[in-house]
Amino acid sequence: MDIKDAMKLQHGRWLMANCGKMENPANCKLVMMAPESQREDLLAALTAHAVNKHGSQNNPELRQQLSKAVEAVEA
């Protein structure tokens, strides 16, 4: 089964971030996605994950790094 079908993703542009593509000592592979219209919600979730699970400091530099790591994908 196609992952888009399994997740029942609506067609359109989605934003995605993949911990596995970033340097992280925990070897985290978490992937987060949100519709393009919910970019701020995705960034908030990414920030919370980075702080709570990776011990990052919540600061403008972290949020800027996470924002750069977000990729647009078509579903």
3-state secondary structure the chain: CCHHHHHCCCCCEEEEEEHHHCCCCCCCCCEEEEEHHHHHHHHHHHHHHHHHHHCCCCCHHHHHHHHHHCEEEEC
Mean pLDDT by 10 residues, the chain (75 residues): 71 92 87 96 97 95 95 91
The pTM of the full predicted model, rounded to 2 decimals, is: 0.86
Which residues, other chains included, contact 31 with Cβ-Cβ below 8 Å and sequence gap of 6+?
Answer: 16, 17, 18, 19, 20
The predicted pLDDT at position 19 comes to 93
Dist. CA 70–CA 21, nearest whole Å: 11
